[in-house]
Structure 1
Amino acid sequence: MSMDVTVTVTLDAPDAKAAATFEEAFRAWARTQPMVKEVRTEPHARWNGGVWREARKAAFGSKLGNPFGRTTLEG
């Protein structure tokens, strides 16, 4: 018999890194369970803009340029 089980977990994490660490540990644990065939995570139902902004800063720096602004490639 095959069935899907949906689980919602609400975290009170101190920061985005702690939440990501928990999420990966949860997925890793679920994959070790003998009856689990697949583990899939969905985008968060309640979007937290602060987490996105912190991730963007970590990846690209504190300020992103205007993608529609003038570039140095224009002649």
Structure 2
Amino acid sequence: MAGEIKISITEVVFDSGPMATIRFRLDDRQVEVPVSPEIKAYFDAQFVRPNPTAQQRRRMGTLLNLMRAAYQKGWKDAVGE
């Protein structure tokens, strides 16, 4: 019988260059998520308005709730709580 062959492939991606930040409140602290300037510009174009409509406020609320849940899940996974 032939010997066992194991192959392990790991991919690591590092962002380089200038980064922008998306900020949101999580409980009593300010959370900052680093993103590329293109993603920040798209986020701003979609969600940042001086006078948002009711629908825009609902969409932003949904997005921020998802961001909070993802951040909390990532935190729990990282610290093992």
- TM, length-normalised to structure 2: 0.29
More helix by share: 2
Structure with more relative contact order (C-alpha pairs < 8 Å, separation 6 or more): 2
